[in-house]
C-alpha cells in the first residue's frame, strides 16, 4: 500500500487532534499561560477536543477507505 495525500492529511489531522486532547486534558494551565492572547478565541475545552478527535477519526477512516 502506498501513501497518498489523503493518508498524509489524515495522519496529520490525527496527530493534531491527539495533541489538542493532551493539551486540553493535561496542559490547560500551560496553554493559558503561554498563549494568553488567543485563548479568548481558542479555549482549551475538553468537550471540543473530544468532538474534534471523533471527527478526525471519521475523516481518517474515510481517507483509508476511499484512498486505500
pLDDT reading at 68 higher than 70 = no
Average pLDDT of 55-66? 87
Q: For residue 48, give its domain range.
A: 5-67
Instruction: Write down the pTM of the prediction.
Output: 0.80
What pLDDT does 3 receive? 74
- Please give the helix or strand (H or E) that residue 9 lies within, else none: helix 5-26
pLDDT digits (tens, 9 = 90+) for 10-49: 889 999 999 999 999 998 899 999 998 998 898 888 999 9
Question: What's the total number of domains in the chain?
Answer: 1
What pLDDT does 64 receive? 80
pLDDT reading at 4 higher than 90 = no
Amino acid at each position: 500500500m502506498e501513501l497518498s495525500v489523503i493518508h498524509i492529511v489524515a495522519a496529520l489531522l490525527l496527530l493534531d487532534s491527539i495533541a489538542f486532547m493532551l493539551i486540553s486534558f493535561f496542559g490547560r494551565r500551560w496553554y493559558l499561560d503561554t498563549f494568553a492572547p488567543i485563548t479568548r478565541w481558542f479555549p482549551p475545552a475538553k468537550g471540543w477536543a473530544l468532538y474534534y478527535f471523533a471527527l478526525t477519526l471519521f475523516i481518517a477512516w474515510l481517507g483509508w477507505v476511499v484512498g486505500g
